[in-house]
Amino acid sequence: MFSSLAYLAICRNRATSPQPRTDPNRTLVGRHRKDSALTDHFSALWFVNVDNGNSQARNQNGNELSILIHSASIGKDEATQEFKFHSNKVVLKVFMYDLPPEFHFELLDWKAKGDNVWPDLKTKIPDYPGGLNIQHSIEYWLTLDLLSSRFPDISGTRSAIRVHNSSEADVIFVPFFSSLSYNRYSKVHPQGKISRNKLLQEKLVNFLTAQKEWKRSGGRDHIILAHHPNSMLDARMKLWPAMFILADFGRYPPTIANIEKDIIAPYKHVIRTFVNDSSSYDNRPTLLYFQGAIYRKDGGFIRQELFYLLKEEKDVHFSFGSIHGDGIRSATLGMQTSKYCLNIAGDTPSSNRLFDAIASHCVPVIISDDIELPYEDVLDYSEFCIFVRTSDALKEKFVINLIRSISKEEWTRMWKRLKEVERFFEFQYPSQKDDAVQMIWQAVARKVSSVRLKLNKSRRFSRFEVGRTKRTIVIPSAKNFW
Which pLDDT tens digit goes with each residue over 403-461?
A: 999 999 999 999 999 999 999 999 999 999 999 999 999 999 999 999 999 999 988 88
What is the structure's pLDDT at 479? 53
Predicted confidence band of residue 474 (pLDDT cuts 50, 70, 90): low
Every domain of the chain with CATH number 3.40.50.2000 lies at: 286-425
- State mean pLDDT over 122-145: 95
What is the structure's pLDDT at 295? 76
Closest CA relative to residue 448, chosen from 160, 235, 254, 139: 160
What is the structure's pLDDT at 293? 84
Per the CB < 8 A criterion, the answer to whether 131 and 184 are in contact is no
168: pLDDT strictly greater than 90: yes
**In the chain, what is the straight-line distance between the N-terminal and C-terminal CA atoms, in Å?**
44
Count of beta carbons in the 10 Å neighbourhood of residue 70 = 9
280: pLDDT strictly greater than 80: yes
317: pLDDT strictly greater than 70: yes
CA distance 412 to 381: 15
Class of domain 286-425: alpha beta
What is the structure's pLDDT at 45? 32
Which positions ≥6 away from 57 have C-beta within 8 Å? 49, 50, 64, 65, 67
Using DSSP's 3-state secondary structure scheme, residue 225 falls into strand
CA distance 384 to 412: 10
Listed range (294-298, 361-365, 406-410) with the worst mean pLDDT? 294-298
Per the CB < 8 A criterion, the answer to whether 405 and 4 are in contact is yes
What is the structure's pLDDT at 29? 33
CA distance 276 to 265: 26
Predicted confidence band of residue 11 (pLDDT cuts 50, 70, 90): very low
Which positions ≥6 away from 128 have C-beta within 8 Å? 108, 134, 137, 140, 180
Query: How do residues 41-89 score in pLDDT, each as one tens digit?
Result: 333 333 333 333 333 333 433 444 333 323 333 333 433 334 444 445 6
146: pLDDT strictly greater than 90: yes
The set of long-range contacts for 83-88, using a CB threshold of 8 Å and a minimum separation of 24, is 83/17, 83/18, 83/19, 83/20, 83/44, 83/45, 83/378, 83/434, 84/17, 85/46, 85/47, 85/159, 86/46, 86/47, 86/48, 88/48, 88/49
157: pLDDT strictly greater than 50: yes
342: pLDDT strictly greater than 70: yes
Query: How do residues 209-237 score in pLDDT, each as one tens digit?
Result: 999 999 999 999 999 999 999 999 999 99
- State mean pLDDT over 195-212: 98
382: pLDDT strictly greater than 50: yes
What is the structure's pLDDT at 130? 87
What is the structure's pLDDT at 17? 47
Which positions ≥6 away from 98 have C-beta within 8 Å? 117, 118
CA distance 415 to 161: 35
- State mean pLDDT over 110-127: 94
CA distance 171 to 462: 22
Count of beta carbons in the 10 Å neighbourhood of residue 83 = 20
Per the CB < 8 A criterion, the answer to whether 200 and 176 are in contact is yes
What is the structure's pLDDT at 326? 82
What is the structure's pLDDT at 469? 53
200: pLDDT strictly greater than 90: yes
Which positions ≥6 away from 256 have C-beta within 8 Å? 236, 237, 240, 478
Task: Provide the mean pLDDT of the chain.
Answer: 83
What one-letter code names the amino acid at 458? S
How many whole angstroms from its chain centre is CA 241? 19
What is the structure's pLDDT at 192? 80
What one-letter code names the amino acid at 107? L
In sequence order, the β-bridge partners of residue 52 are 55
More confident residue, 8 or 133: 133
What is the structure's pLDDT at 209? 98
Whole-prediction pTM: 0.80
What is the structure's pLDDT at 156? 83
What is the structure's pLDDT at 346? 84
What is the structure's pLDDT at 470? 52
